[in-house]
Amino acid sequence: MTVQVIEDRATFKIPYEFLPYPIVGDFYPGVDRSSKVICDALITKVVINKKQDKTALVHVEIPAEYIHEFITIRRP
């Protein structure tokens, strides 16, 4: 997982293995390690590559205040 912080937003790149894949512009629930929803995560990019064997690389943007709690997104 890669993270980048710009002002009050944090961007993560996370693997995603479920179908259907997220759509850019959608909001998914952002969760912590205990699977508790902590924020809304904006889908900013979805990369699907044959090398990744059906695993998409999803770029999500969350409020920077959750940078240490956020772990992944949950299917809505």
Residue owning tokens 């999803």: 58
Answer whether residue 63 shows pLDDT above 90: yes
| Nearest one of 6, 10, 7 to 60, comparing CA atoms | 10
For residue 4, give Cα distances in angstroms to 11, 18, 21, 36, 72: 5, 24, 22, 22, 15
Note the pTM of the prediction, 2 decimals. 0.87
Of the candidates 41, 32, 16, which has an alpha carbon nearest to the alpha carbon of residue 68?
32
User: What's the pLDDT at 52?
Assistant: 72
Model pLDDT, residue 2: 66
Q: What pLDDT, on the 0 to 100 scale, is given for residue 51?
A: 77
CA dist 56 and 53 (Å) reads 9
